[in-house]
Amino acid sequence: MSHWEKVSALEVYSEHDLSDIGAVLEGHAEFCREQIAPLSRIGDTLGARFDKGRVTMPEGAARAYAQFVEMGWQALTHPVDYGGIGLPRAVGAAAVEMLNAADMSFGLCPLLTDGAIEALLLTGSDDQKATYLEPLIAGRWSGTMNLTEPQAGSDLGRVATKAVRRADGSYGITGTKIFITYGAHDLTENIIHLVLARAPDASQGPKGLSLFIVPQKLVEPDGTPGAANAVNCVSIEHKLGVRGSPTAVLDFADATGFLIGEENCGLEYMFIMMNAARFSVGVQGIAISERAYQRALAYARDRIQSRPVNGSAKDAVAIIEHPDVRRMLMRMRSLTEGGRAMAAATAGLLDIAHHQDHPEMAALAEFMVPLVKGFCSERAVEVASLGVQIHGGMGFIEETGAAQHYRDARILPIYEGTTAIQANDLLGRKVMRDGGATARLFAARIAETEATLARGDATAQAIGTSLAQARGAYEAALNWMLETGHKDIDASFAGSVPFLMLSGTLAAGWKLAKGALAAQTALDAGQNTQFMTRKIATALFFAQHILPECATEQTRILHGSRSLLDAAFPE
């Protein structure tokens, strides 16, 4: 049974006819294409503007956002109890991809709101849920994550924002937060900031942090936004990319905040929110990759330049005929579809883990999240760069559009935890903590796929051979990590990002291989020939061009730690 069949069978989705989910996504696709995609270049060119504490969004954003709310797209995957539509995350991931492919700057607002909803659902009190969830799920209000401070980026233990208890049970929040995506804007009636801060008697370090709801406008008893809270936007950043989205510096001047859950558990709660956001950032990577690919493909079909190298024509041909342009396009396509296959499977695991008591599925889902974030974000930078390259000199001209993807993509391996943070999460929490049990389960599942591939045709066998080699590299690296981790922690962390990239590449190649098997079954049944043939070709390319990178990562991990750790950086 496929993940999707398992997801469809979940009790919670029994009210939906998931066989017809394509129609919902078609509707979303049309909305994204018609209403959102045109914003991308406008937002990039005009940017969000800051004047005297107020942020004005680029032209067209307010109208598009109002339609987004009216059509209920924010509600897609959220619980029906609070006005949501209650569809699986596996469907939501596809919608998030389309929205961010249309305009990542726009997509960031709903993405952060999703994170706030997730955190409130899992850790908020009944009162808090009653107050905030409905307008957030409707999209009338938006959410933010307030973690970073100038001295506290990856190291949240250094957060200095203070939370002073007040007699009425609320807290006075004082401090400065930076890099707050959609921290200030004019799209919604209210903005619900989730803020990490420290009570006066709390310990230093990460275990003294608490999480607070700090509404931009305090909520009246009737549920409507009322008086302004003491949260001020000091400035917004001048960024490399996603210029249509405001990134705010927020000043909290004894702002009224409401504790979520218990004091000193803030980081734990924030991680719930962050895990959802990390997965979504991986999906943003797929989104940017897909948009960059579509643009490059269209250009490659259109642009006439040079005769074929094999002399098959006397006239210049479209550049898609040239082998190296095909190589770049196939690299873009296979990295994009590999990321998508892996994210879709992870979404399915998350749905199942969320609604069933299935510790193995839950552990695999947790294992996959840093892979989705790490692989899809790093690869998006590579794919967007190839997209520029295919355009030649035109790619360097901003009006062409390819350069914007290259700029936008660059934030993805940084925000919601850098690639190194993902790698630490993978190695520390997902691999070492259970002694490698989940990591070995992952490999065992891949070996099952290899066995099926071995019984297939020549193409399936070729994919299987590459997959087995890549899994071998992974297992060698895993064994080394499990042995080295306790003896020489520096050496194991020297290989953490290579291990993340090895695992992510293997996961993507595996999921594409499973897709190729499914495609062959469909082909044998005479279904959708062109699409299925393409899926198999993509999986084969990935197996022969991308999976071999796993062996290089293995070499780095096993033999490269000393040359890395011993090197000096003299003044």
Smallest distance from its own copies to CB 332, Å: 11
Helix (H) or strand (E) holding 251, with range, is strand 247-259
The rounded Cα 153 to chain-centroid distance in angstroms is 19
- Give the nearer residue to its own copies in terms of CB position, either 305 or 521: 305
Please report whether residue 433 would count as binding its own copies according to CB under 8 A: no
Cβ nearer to its own copies, comparing 203 with 563: 563
- Candidate segments 14-22, 275-283, 326-334, 434-442, binder of its own copies by CB under 8 A: 326-334
Active-site annotation holder among 321, 337, 416, 450: 416
Q: Which of residues 209-248 bind its own copies (CB under 8 A)?
A: 237-241
Structure letter (DSSP) for residue 432: I
Q: Which of 1, 151, 525, 526 binds its own copies (CB under 8 A)?
A: 151
Tokens for 171, please give them. 């807290």
Phi and psi dihedrals of 258, rounded to 5? -120, 125
Rounded distance, CA 551 to CA 557, Å? 10
Using the rule CB under 8 A, is 12 a contact of its own copies?
no
H or E element in which residue 10 lies: none
Residues of this chain, 504-533, that bind its own copies according to CB under 8 A:
530-531, 533
Q: Which stretch binds its own copies (CB under 8 A): 61-69, 209-217, 398-406, 429-437?
A: 398-406
By the rule CB under 8 A, 297 interacts with its own copies: yes
Using CB under 8 A, pick the residue from 198, 373, 535, 556 that binds its own copies: 556
Stretch that binds its own copies, among 88-96, 273-281, 518-526, 537-545 (CB under 8 A): 537-545
Residue with smaller CB distance to its own copies, 251 or 549: 549
Where b means 16+ CB within 10 Å and e means fewer, 278-301 reads: bbbbbbbbbbbbbbbbebbbebbe
Q: How far is the CB of 568 from its own copies (least distance, A)?
A: 6
What backbone torsions phi and psi does residue 456 show, to the nearest 5 degrees? -90, -165
423: tokens are: 């790698």
Helix (H) or strand (E) run with residue 522 in it: helix 496-524
Residue choice 10, 420, 441, 476 for contact with its own copies (CB under 8 A): 420
Q: Is 134 a catalytic residue?
A: no
93, 350, 362, 431 from 358: Cα distances, Å: 21, 11, 6, 18
Residues 480-509 within binding reach of its own copies (CB under 8 A): 489-490, 493-494, 496-497
Is residue 458 near its own copies by the rule CB under 8 A? no
Stretch that binds its own copies, among 54-62, 70-78, 361-369, 535-543 (CB under 8 A): 535-543
Residue from the set 20, 126, 168, 399 that interacts with its own copies by CB under 8 A: 399
Residues that bind its own copies (rule: CB under 8 A) add up to a total of: 89
From the list 58-66, 83-91, 111-119, 562-570, the region that binds its own copies by CB under 8 A is 562-570
Q: Is 9 in the site for its own copies (CB under 8 A)?
A: no
- The smaller minimum CB distance to its own copies, of residues 240 and 454, is found at 240
Q: Is 471 in the site for its own copies (CB under 8 A)?
A: no
CA dist., res. 356 & res. 245, Å (int): 37
Residue of 15, 310, 357, 486 that binds its own copies (CB under 8 A): 310
Backbone angles phi, psi at 317, to 5 degrees: -125, 170
User: Which residue among 258, 279, 406, 480 contacts its own copies (CB under 8 A)?
Assistant: 406
Report, in Å, the least distance between residue 202 CB and its own copies: 18
Nearest in space to 286 (alpha carbons), one of 331, 341, 336, 330:
336
Pairing between strand 209-215 and 217-219?
unpaired
Residues 6 or more apart from 353 whose CB is under 8 A from it?
A: 361, 362, 365
Count of Cβ atoms closer than 10 Å to residue 141 Cβ: 26
Residues 41-100 interacting with its own copies (rule: CB under 8 A)? none
**DSSP assignment, residue 74?**
G
Of 176, 235, 294, 544, the residue at the interface with its own copies (CB under 8 A) is 544
Binding letters toward its own copies, positions 95-124, x by CB under 8 A: ------------------------------
Task: Pinpoint the alpha helices (H) of 11-149.
Answer: 21-31, 39-46, 61-70, 89-102, 104-123, 126-128, 134-138
Stretch (H or E) spanning 412: none
One residue of 32, 102, 120, 423 binding its own copies per CB under 8 A: 423
Q: Does the protein bind its own copies through residue 566 (CB under 8 A)?
A: yes
**The residue type at 45:** T
Q: Which is nearer to its own copies, 256 or 404 (CB)?
A: 404
Residues 145/273, Cβ–Cβ less than 8 Å: yes
**Smallest distance from the beta carbon of 560 to its own copies, in angstroms?**
4
CB 482 within 8 A of CB 436: yes
Structure tokens that stand for 288 in this block: 């940017």
Q: Which of 294, 418, 432, 523 binds its own copies (CB under 8 A)?
A: 418
Closest distance between its own copies and the C-beta of residue 70, in Å?
32
| Beta bridge partners of residue 162, listed in sequence order | 174, 198
Burial tier of 32 (Cβ tally within 10 Å: 0-12, 13-18, 19+): buried
Name which of 350 and 388 has its Cβ closer to its own copies: 388
Candidate residues 57, 96, 233, 388; the one interacting with its own copies per rule CB under 8 A: 388
For its own copies, the binding residues in 156-195 under the rule CB under 8 A are 157-158, 178-179
345 binds its own copies (CB under 8 A): no
Q: Please give the structure tokens belonging to residue 155.
A: 């190291």
Q: How far apart are CA 144 and CA 191, in angstroms?
A: 7
Catalytic residue annotation: 416
